Amino acid sequence: MQYKPKRSRAIALPNSEFRARATEYLDFLAAWVKKPRQTASVVPSSRYLARLMVAQIDPLDSGRVLELGGGTGVFTRAILATGLPADRLEVVEINPGFARGLRRHFPTVSVLETPAQIVSTATAGEPGDYQTVVSGLPLLAMDRGMHADILSESFRMLRPGGSFVQFTYSMRPPVNREVLDALGLDVERAGQTVRNFPPATVFRFFRQGE
């Protein structure tokens, strides 16, 4: 019988993008282990979800954009990819490790380590200067009082016609109708993707009558 040498498999060294992605996943998992309710997911959102989250943004509009709960920067990257100038974006993130990472990856973007529920105390822009709030906050892990605080802070900064965009892992909006009515807000489904873990739905909140 003829001896056939075993074919050796080439081990491809991970390229820098793969390494960066792996680090991002590990950072996220570590944050979740430390503060599961605050992080609320074991992996960052996908780029498919990120594209849905930024669809409202008009880079040619002079309005500013606020991102809440930046994490490892999946949405930050997508917001900048719309062509919005970096000096019109502020990212809010209360996890100091994530905030450090965001500053390292996006040195031209302002990162605010302020809780989203009091964000108006720290923003560079004035009330009415913002066209869109992109929220990656874990609303399902928060109570109604927190929902009301976060939405009223966001709409304090949003100009007339402005949108608060939020994803959730449920088919229903993550904020109760009573809270929305009390704040004079409405909500519509803006998109959905199964190319995320878990599958996600995107909702757009806006002022009633707009």
Ligand X SMILES: C[S@@+](CC[C@H](N)C(=O)[O-])C[C@H]1O[C@@H](n2cnc3c(N)ncnc32)[C@H](O)[C@@H]1O
Q: By the criterion CB under 6 A, which residues form the site for ligand X? A: 38-41, 44-45, 68-71, 74-75, 92-95, 98, 115-117, 136-138
Closer Cβ to ligand X, 35 or 210, answer by number: 35
CB of 157 to ligand X, least distance (A): 14
| Distance, CA of 71 to CA of 99 (rounded, Å) | 8
CB of 46 to ligand X, least distance (A): 9
Closer Cβ to ligand X, 27 or 129, answer by number: 27
The CA-atom distances, in angstroms, between 191 and each of 56, 63, 118, 126, 202 are: 11, 23, 28, 29, 5
The alpha carbon of 124 is separated from its chain's Cα centroid by a whole number of angstroms, namely 19
Query: Using the 8-state DSSP alphabet, how is residue 63 labeled?
Result: -
CB of 47 to ligand X, least distance (A): 10
CB of 209 to ligand X, least distance (A): 29
| Distance, CA of 53 to CA of 65 (rounded, Å) | 12
Closer Cβ to ligand X, 55 or 186, answer by number: 55
